Chains A and B, each alone.
Chain A
Amino acid sequence: MNLKSYVDLVALLEVNPSSREENRAFGLTQVLLKNRPMAQISAWIDLYHNTLKRPLLSETFSSYLYNTTLTLVLMAFVLGFLSGLGLLSYNGAEPVNVIYFMVMVIVLPLATMLLTGISMLRAKSAQSILVHLSPAFWMEKMLSLLPGKIQENITAFKISPLLSNWLIIKRSQMIALFFSVGLLLALLAMVVTKDIAFAWSTTLHITPEVFHGFLTTVAFPWRDFAPSAVPSMELIEQSQYFRLGDTLSKEMITHASQLGEWWKFLAFSTIFYAIFLRVTMFFISSFGLNRALMQSFLTLEGSMRLLKEINEPMISTHAKPTNAAFVSDDMGYGQIVNTLDASYDSVQGWAITKDEILVLSDTIEVITPKHFKVGGTNSLDEDDEVISKSDGEVLLLGKSWEHPANEFLDYVIDLSRKVDKIIIMPIGGSENPYDIKAEDLDEWAKKMASIQNEKVWLKLSTTKLQSGGV
């Protein structure tokens, strides 16, 4: 898992190259990766990598990072080397004050590492103020002013503040490291090519004893195995140098070769404080960056969903979508009667018992010589027999809530061949035959419209209730 795969993942999640099914199939086939989310994500990235548009943003991005880092590192190295040379330049007249070099390789690294430590703790914040101190940060700001499509791509890709903070922290460590390496090389080069007289000098009243104590403390990491790299009391006394006193004491000149012994101490200081500690910082920042990457992977919108799709069984309950949408024909029916006649040649009831038909005829005040039950438990032959007995005008009662099925329509059509007029009357419950729901009536009208027969009429209104009732 690295920055490159992170950028790829972001790009992939945006194009969403795989369906839910494919993701689950991936999860089922990659059994070895089970319960290893990071490994799953990276395998998934590899699988869909080639669906991304070229040039890959991740490649542009990392080559951009690589290039800026390389430039900065080289610059830092050269700068380190040159400052080393400057600090150690010995004109033969004045000795080289080791304090300057010590500041450069001990105090400065320690101070910047402290700042780095603080920015590491604050890396979560959207804008860590301390990050702004880093040369890497400013270098990037400068570069982003350059025109170019690549810049556009990179700026369009919003990297999370957490990541960019860690990126900058890590790269700052590299830059500082190479600066220190430059310093060390300059020291070695100077020591090899020149005979330098080192001295120490300060305005502060520090006795050689105190200074010796201080240096011994500073040299704690190596004083046991490299005692020659710890300046002896004698050396310190000999190399103290007072600017305001006589320029160079006799003693110093006589011990000029001994004064060179300082270089070991300086070299070890550089190696430990500026290089070893920096390398440690570098590893810590690498670790931090990796953790930040992990965080970013896990908080990235879509990555959790992806993992879910890969690992959770895909459950579906629904039907395959059909495109055959149901078209409701909202046809009304033209042939409507509003009031019933006083008598009919026969009254028939669809799936209504004869007794009920009698009661109903009474309630709706219709007189008829013949009552027939049709449909329901009748056999088809029995229905045919009813048809043969029917003539003239027929009042056909049906339960309003049982919308007519085709069987009913079949019967109506057969009957219409025999009789002159059929009035179809949907009825409510036996307590009140006129208590019918409007929706039910609509459904009856729709069904009747589907047969379009001029002999068939539908009794629609419930007026009888208003005039006859109460």
Chain B
Amino acid sequence: MKFFQLIGQISIKALAKLGRAGLFFMSILSSTGYLLFRPGLLIRQIYSIGVLTFWLIAISGLFVGMVLGLQGVYTLSTFGAESSLGIMVAASLVRELGPVVSALLFAGRAGSALTAEIGLMKATEQLSGMEMMAIDPLKYIIAPRFFAGFISLPLLAALFSASGILGGHLAGVDLLHVDSGAYWSQMQTAIDFNDDIINGVIKSIIFAWLVTWIALFEGYDAIPTSAGISRATTRTVVNSSFAILLFDFLLTALMFGAP
């Protein structure tokens, strides 16, 4: 009995949280109009969310690509198929690693920062203060951050894939002397613009929505104490990582599952 009661309690809590998160998202959406008049707010947030994550993503992408290049040559050479290296590197980056790894890095770098920032603003009554100054924090604080994240992550994912493909070239072609022409031409025949590139971008758009939403909501919903904020920050990273991986599975099944 205790056990079922516990399960009941947990699911009711989870549902209630999901409901609050849904309402929260709706009110972000309803603040979109305001942002159109205040592009400055958005630009400032793209700076702190996107620009400051640039090097992390670019360099991680490069290294992931280089590792793929090395491992690819190593594995493919046992079949004498090094010339397919381009396909292997590009397909794994564009379809999976680009969107997923950049989203995971983004959740760790930008998502946790967002949660902590919003949570601290709540704890120090800055959000209440704004409300009393008749400035809606949802419009002024939350919405710009949401859209900045929503715009930045897909761009960063493209950056990750691109620098990864260059990294694969660096390791495979420049270091291990796979033919450069084969690297690019095989890639171009195998990677389909609609199936691979566009689907990858769609994935990263969905991840962007998930991560920014989770991060902002956890901050907004945090218990306004130092322990509460630290737990909320942890939850952001954990929950968005789970959400990214779960949705990646679902989307992959949807996009590439059917022959």
A binds B: no
Interface residues of A (CB under 8 A from B): none
Interface residues of B (CB under 8 A from A): none
